[in-house]
């Protein structure tokens, strides 16, 4: 939750030029924000599915959860092999006038996600499985690790993009 709030605060602090700037072949800060909102919303929506239905749709995990570092390495490896966002996770372009409301939307989505997690035990975090479009089946714990790393990854991309503005 802290990483997402930090990201939303950072995005909100950007001026309009920074928010709308996209390095060649990259997303704007607004698109990065929209991508994170879509990603968090998908996890939040999955957690609203009753547990008995989750068990019917996705079998119980057949392996232990990876730790945070293991999950991050798997994600980085997929990115290095060309993995990219697709389908419903491709962001929309946001106008500068949408910056604050989109940051608030992210904060609301992450708060709702955290509230839903209160209904899961530590054991359930390691046994319930959700599909990830790039990483395959992940335990809920791994999905949460991904969610934490993912927002930091996109914040780094925004920072790098803004730093490149002086090179343009």
| Residue that the structure tokens 């709308």 belong to | 20
The DSSP call for residue 135 is T
Q: The domain that contains 138 carries what CATH number? A: 1.20.120.450
Per-residue pLDDT tens over the stretch 12-45: 999 999 999 999 999 999 999 999 999 999 999 9
Distance CA 153, CA 120 (A): 26
**Six-digit token string for 156:** 């780094």
Domain limits for position 151 = 2-167
116 and 51 Cβ atoms separated by less than 8 Å: no
Per-residue pLDDT tens over the stretch 43-63: 999 999 999 999 999 889 999
Per-residue pLDDT tens over the stretch 70-104: 999 999 999 999 999 999 999 999 999 999 999 99
Q: How confident is the model at residue 168 (pLDDT cuts 50, 70, 90)?
A: low
Number of domains within the chain: 1
Cα dihedral 24, 26, 27, 29, rounded to 10, equals -80
pTM: 0.95
């Amino acid at each position: 939750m802290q990483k997402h709030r930090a990201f939303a605060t950072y995005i909100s602090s950007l001026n309009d030029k920074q928010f709308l700037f996209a390095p060649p072949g990259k997303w704007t800060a607004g698109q990065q924000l929209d991508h994170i909102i879509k990603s968090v919303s998908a996890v939040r929506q999955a957690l609203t599915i009753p547990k008995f239905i989750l068990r019917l749709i996705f079998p119980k995990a057949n392996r232990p959860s990876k730790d945070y570092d293991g999950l991050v390495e798997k994600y980085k490896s997929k990115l290095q092999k060309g993995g990219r966002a697709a389908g419903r996770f491709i962001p929309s372009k946001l106008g500068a006038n949408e910056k604050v409301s989109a940051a608030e939307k992210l904060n609301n989505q992450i708060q709702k996600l955290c509230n839903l997690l209160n209904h899961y035990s530590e054991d359930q975090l390691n046994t319930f499985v959700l599909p990830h479009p790039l990483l395959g089946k992940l335990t809920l714990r791994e999905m949460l690790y991904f969610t934490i790393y993912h927002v930091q990854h996109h914040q780094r991309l925004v920072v790098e993009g803004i730093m490149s503005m002086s090179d343009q």
